[in-house]
Amino acid sequence: MLHYPNFDPVALAVGPLKIRWYGLMYVIGFLSAWRLGRGRAAKPDSTWTALEVDDLLYFCVFGVILGGRLGWLLFYGQDALAEDPNYWYKIWQGGMSFHGGLIGVLIALGVFAYTRKRNLLDVMDFAVPLPAIGIGAGRIGNFINGELWGKPTDVPWGFSVQGGDGLTQVLHASQLYEAALEGGALFLILWWFTRRPRPRCAPAGLFLISYASFRMLVETVRVPDAQLGYLSGGWLTMGMLLSLPMLVIGLALLMGAYWRPQRSGNTLPSA
């Protein structure tokens, strides 16, 4: 059994200014995505420029933050918003939805593709290896904040956590499971898969399949949000429900990519 150290969520305080670990995780995510995208754009066969990567990240920052926050308020946070009408902008307190962020990013990618006259599917394929490190960092932020714990357990790697009622339980650190799978494993899979040209839609399909599978797996040991509970049968969670369409769409995209392959516009034709 491991003991949860009750981290201070504030990484640095200078007078009234407080920099929180959760916010720093987003900075790490955006910087890593920018650096990885710049590296891919610098490859000799890439059709992307460094400036396009900069613009892409600019659009995605807004998509992640606005979509993630609005998605959480819609899917999970209606009670919190009813209690505090100003809660909608208090991002530093947590409360971001991956699925809402994904919708926001898809809209941002669509705007980018339209304004840059690029194929939206190519933009999606280029973008999908970039956010995994940030996703993992965000889950570490959840761990530091002491939120999104898993179910009680007796495994030796469970964490002893004191709840708000003063009682101590040994819980699955589902945040760290997600950091390892949705962050580390997802990055390795997609970075390896996209190291050479693939048919159009194949990277996007693999991203959706991998994330949805990892998320649904961790949801089996993660405690659902208290205000929602289990949606059905004592096992179905909102996270599972939102991930299921991702899995279906991802399978369709990946199978279609290899059934009728189209050359990606992200790389120059081979000589």
The region of weakest confidence among 19-33, 41-55, 68-82 is: 68-82
In angstroms, the CA 245 to CA 210 distance is 13
Residue 271 pLDDT more than 60?
no
Length of the chain: 271
Give the global pTM: 0.91
The whole-number average pLDDT for the span 47-61 is: 97
For residues 75 and 239, the answer to whether their CB atoms sit within 8 Å is no
pLDDT at 252 over 90: yes
pLDDT for 91 equals: 66
**What is the model's pLDDT at position 69?**
86
Q: Is residue 175 classed exposed, middle or buried when 0-12, 13-18 and 19+ CB atoms within 10 A define those classes?
A: buried
Q: Which residue has the tokens 């670990």?
A: 21
Q: Tell which residue, 262, 254, 135, has the closest CA to residue 188.
A: 135
What is the mean predicted confidence (pLDDT) over 150-155?
95
Q: Write the single-letter amino acid at 228.
A: L
Position with higher pLDDT, 258 vs 227? 258
Stretch 89-108: mean pLDDT: 81
pLDDT average, residue stretch 182-203: 97
Q: pLDDT averaged over the chain?
A: 91
What is the structure's pLDDT at 108?
Answer: 96
Q: SS3 for the chain, per residue?
A: CEECCCCCCEEEEECCEEEEHHHHHHHHHHHHHHHHHHHHHCCCCECCCHHHHHHHHHHHHHHHHHHHHHHHHHHCCHHHHHHCHHHHHCHHHCCCCHHHHHHHHHHHHHHHHHHHCCCHHHHHHHHCCCCHHHHHHHHHHHHHHCCCCECECCCCCCEEEECCCCCEEEECCHHHHHHHHHHHHHHHHHHHHCCCCCCCCHHHHHHHHHHHHHHHHHHCCECCCCCCCCCECCCECHHHHHHHHHHHHHHHHHHHHHHCCCCCCCECCCC
**What's the pLDDT at 270?**
74
Out of 9-23, 69-83, 123-137, 188-202, which region has the weakest mean confidence (pLDDT)? 69-83
Q: Which residues pair with 267 in a beta bridge?
A: 46
- Integer Cα distance of 103 and 71 in angstroms: 8
Kindly report which listed range (64-78, 86-100, 252-266) carries the lowest average pLDDT score: 86-100
Closest CA to 98 of 190, 226, 208, 223: 208
Supply the pLDDT for residue 94.
61
Most confident of 58-72, 203-217, 221-235: 203-217
Q: Does pLDDT of 38 surpass 70?
A: yes
Q: Compute the distance between CA of residue 198 and CA of residue 246 in angstroms, rounded to an integer.
A: 20
What average pLDDT does range 100-118 have in this prediction?
95
